[in-house]
Structure 1
């Protein structure tokens, strides 16, 4: 670092930052000098002055060495700048902890093709190191992995199967194979106590949290741990998604997992809030996919597999509320700014000037989805596509089919068709979605073609759906990029329009409440569940399109229902989303 590059203003700014964490620092303090050097480099990068790769890396390493922790914004900004120049740590660098402050997404040379593109960091799994890849190279890597997994596990995709389902089946098969290979014989285990197998615990915890990983929660690859001779081992971490967080504790010997509310005790994250209001405990088996399904069911019932709904507490400081909403807006548009290589301010301006996008932002995001966080949830995004490329803004409503049961069947079919083509890493495959949703031969599970059901209205339905899909394809590729588009579709799939729809994470929990209320009221269950019982009905309603019209009609409106309830799907209160509260307790309350 050139000594003349660090100005007195840089030192003043560094002093003010260090003074917040300790008293009376000196200007020649190594921590102050390291921070000032970082501030100097970042200042020059934002202006017209140049900074060499050597200076940039030196500033990063010097600041890294001086920090007692690694979550400094300047360190992260230096890492972002290094990534943009193709400078990425090797495995083992910085005590193998660099991924905690290096960006998940950025822009720079792809590791494989070396082209400058939008990049995503992928975890060190399946024998691969942490790496930054563009979408094209990631697709090729996935194709190679898919070919290998098909060969190694013998598990091939089923028609219409979601990526999540295929992933789960392959993991289960592979884990089973590996378990058969490495499990020691009982006589080898006897009398030979081993060190705590933390690696196995972590692998199992990652498996258990796979449903949350798919739903956009940042599931880590490393965890804090605790335990001694008198207490059972425990792994714990915080899971984050947008501004929401909750705590996970895993006790592998006890086959126990806890979800706990998050508390920002150090006030490090002023826009954060807890995704849970109370503790939840689960009993999880040490192997097999039964426990993964249990985690998925409980997480779904808690609303953790859907986009988070949150309201600002009544009477909250207006400045804190404004900051919270601004942070949500940044989460939504930062990926688009990186994709377009411009500022967030500029991309918001471009979005507001696009007539197609402006209408969606005003109505869907600003009104219908005003309490929905801009999370990235593939299943909710698929619902968003079903709602805004099929059901709304098309001729589908103008040619409404004779019964709500039939419309429900088609809504489910649309969602099923879209799901395999929505990926949290690769974005939305609009070409496939257009081809499938406008296919004249497209059939429901019972064999009836969608085009036949719409009759003379099908050509108009077909053309307007095609128009909507192409509109979003254009917005995705020319304006927003894949991540912001996914977040917008997630919001679109999380409004009152879809709160009754199959495909949401809370679907089974909603069905459980409807059936429970009907049984408690003494209502007759639809055939054959009047004989098979409520548990069988709840289980089968996970695939509602496979049920008879009578069962679906019962679920939607419940013939025995009165004005005071209990209600079917159309009016049941369980379809209302779980809403969290952002309460900036650190800010002064306003007088009523």
Structure 2
């Protein structure tokens, strides 16, 4: 296949790429011309010009032969994405069997089975299957067929088209009338269902989950309409199914028992079914509460299985580094290798990466989670690396109140799209009039030390602002702050999605042990206490002190928030058994 001749700009870019990779002599002459031709194909395809799949594939293969994937500038990955859009999938042994490192896990293009252009997920070659990209509906049908062949679903009839995953069909609850026959939804009905579903999942969308552009759907007269998809945040997945007639929303473990998505892991261990009304905010709040309790609104903590081979653990680490810094490389318009060199040569930034990202937050997935990023700013630009600790306040309760006030401010100025507004945070945190909810100026709490506090907090925020704008860009900065707000240092802080469930666990354990609730909740009850702890900086100091340490609990009694095991976030596991001999 002949690739069209390159333009001069493509030649210049090819020479620059060759020089960066330390192989200019090898690539000059015919080699550099071929590389330039590849880059020209990519440029034209991304500009919307007509380029056949054969030319795209030839360009991809030539680039793969010229420049190793780890030394490239992302062009190989972008060509692979374009090929997925044309329905091209490599065979298992192609490109030394390592093509999955740059071939996208998710894409958009023709589904192998139904042929429709939809959001796709890559599945691997196991149990006689080939590598393939499938939409959620066709994958559901495939899973059912596999289960039937294994004898696990002997009583479930084979559907005539992609339908609901049999294991997710929930029988009607006691007291709820079973749907016996309903009319097929109209186009406007489906549109209304999608709008409502996206309202219900708003908290997950804010927490960094990618909601699909198109939802897979199904209908049968008995169970009514259904919308379903796999939601992804990085490499973590969970399955969502919405049944509007049954008024239920299910959040389910991502089904990857066969190792179909090598880099993925499930974000849930158990299914969560939530009753949801067709309208109103109560259901939206209920979904957010359930997602928060499951840890889905906080950054993901994930570890590699102990049984994983060393090369898989190394690839997991490298993939994490690429996810963090590829946005920065794109922001700076630099090759990833050059960007990483700049970062490692920056002594201050490298110290943060080694301690916070590499050690205390070493198990935190590099996703953009705004609430976690706000906690990161509060933890590392207010409490740490400043004079705040040098002037520690008179009690942990008072320190907690100030932490909460700081977090409230940072939350207002962290946006997953626009990034972090460092100047607004600085102005708010150093304002002498800034006060706690009871009217106490924060500056007065530090007395003569306020000048040191304000100066060091300003310096730290200005330093991060500089690195955000000049070195990292907003996406990478948000990831680094999300990791910084998800370490053991902030496990017990207000502002994370698990906060209500953590408080509930402390309250329940105290009551089970026969301890009295703090006044006035000994009369008002535990539900009132939990509701008021949504704003813990506004409850009496005695109540917050009770929550933190549970007075009168004794050595062997229940633990307060400071030491309660519920403060530890759930940890997911990446178990790449399919990358070795293919056996579980």
How does the TM-score come out when normalised to structure 1? 0.71
Match of 1:386 among 378, 386, 411: 378
Q: How does 1:25-36 map to 2 (within 5 A)?
A: 33=54, 36=57
Partner of 2:244: 252
Aligned partner of residue 256 in structure 2, secondary structure: coil
Q: CA deviation at 1:323?
A: 1.1
Partner of 1:279: 271
Q: CA deviation at 1:561?
A: 1.6
Q: CA deviation at 1:268?
A: 4.6
Aligned counterparts of 1:406 and 1:58: Cα–Cα separation in 2: 55
CA deviations on 1:342-372 (whole Å, 9 max, x unpaired) are: 1222212211111110110011011110111
Partner of 1:539: 531
Aligned counterparts of 2:480 and 2:463: Cα–Cα separation in 1: 14
Change (3 A) 1:499 1:202: same
Aligned counterparts of 1:536 and 1:482: Cα–Cα separation in 2: 40
Q: CA RMSD in A?
A: 3.5
Partner of 2:213: 221
Which blocks of at least 5 consecutive residues in structure 1 are unaligned? Answer: 11-29, 48-56, 81-88, 90-94, 102-190
Aligned partner of residue 237 in structure 2, secondary structure: strand
Change (3 A) 1:337 1:281: same
- The answer to whether residue 231 in structure 2 is matched with residue 239 in structure 1 is yes
How many residues are paired up? 457
Match of 2:361 among 354, 369, 372: 369
Partner of 1:503: 495
Match of 1:321 among 313, 321, 333: 313
Q: How does 1:438-517 map to 2 (within 5 A)?
A: 438-517=430-509
Aligned counterparts of 2:450 and 2:237: Cα–Cα separation in 1: 45
Change (3 A) 1:589 1:516: farther
Aligned partner of residue 254 in structure 1, secondary structure: coil
Aligned partner of residue 446 in structure 2, secondary structure: helix
Change (3 A) 1:100 1:428: farther
Q: How does 1:503-582 map to 2 (within 5 A)?
A: 503-582=495-574
Q: CA deviation at 1:563?
A: 1.4
Aligned counterparts of 1:66 and 1:419: Cα–Cα separation in 2: 42
- The answer to whether residue 577 in structure 2 is matched with residue 585 in structure 1 is yes
Partner of 1:212: 204
* Paired residues of 1:386 and 1:418 also in contact (CA < 8 A): yes
CA deviations on 1:110-135 (whole Å, 9 max, x unpaired) are: xxxxxxxxxxxxxxxxxxxxxxxxxx
Q: Which runs of 4+ in 1 moved over 6 A?
A: 4-8, 43-47, 57-63, 71-77, 98-101
How does the TM-score come out when normalised to structure 2? 0.72
Match of 2:186 among 195, 200, 205: 195
Match of 1:37 among 58, 70, 75: 58
Q: CA deviation at 1:231?
A: 3.2
* Paired residues of 2:242 and 2:249 also in contact (CA < 8 A): yes
CA deviations on 1:171-195 (whole Å, 9 max, x unpaired) are: xxxxxxxxxxxxxxxxxxxx99862
* Paired residues of 1:351 and 1:357 also in contact (CA < 8 A): yes
Change (3 A) 1:426 1:323: same
Aligned partner of residue 282 in structure 1, secondary structure: strand
Aligned counterparts of 2:575 and 2:430: Cα–Cα separation in 1: 46
* Paired residues of 2:53 and 2:83 also in contact (CA < 8 A): no
Aligned counterparts of 1:557 and 1:280: Cα–Cα separation in 2: 31
* Paired residues of 1:301 and 1:506 also in contact (CA < 8 A): yes
Partner of 2:341: 349
Q: CA deviation at 1:329?
A: 1.2
Change (3 A) 1:385 1:96: farther
* Paired residues of 1:310 and 1:372 also in contact (CA < 8 A): yes
Q: CA deviation at 1:583?
A: 0.9
Q: CA deviation at 1:569?
A: 1.0
Q: CA deviation at 1:320?
A: 1.1
- The answer to whether residue 285 in structure 2 is matched with residue 293 in structure 1 is yes
Aligned partner of residue 247 in structure 1, secondary structure: strand
CA deviations on 1:241-300 (whole Å, 9 max, x unpaired) are: 111111111111001111111133664531211111111111111111111111110100
CA deviations on 1:476-516 (whole Å, 9 max, x unpaired) are: 01100000000000000000111010001100000000000
Change (3 A) 1:537 1:270: same
- The answer to whether residue 394 in structure 2 is matched with residue 402 in structure 1 is yes
Aligned partner of residue 386 in structure 2, secondary structure: coil
* Paired residues of 2:548 and 2:562 also in contact (CA < 8 A): yes
* Paired residues of 2:250 and 2:273 also in contact (CA < 8 A): yes
Aligned counterparts of 1:498 and 1:44: Cα–Cα separation in 2: 47
CA deviations on 1:134-160 (whole Å, 9 max, x unpaired) are: xxxxxxxxxxxxxxxxxxxxxxxxxxx
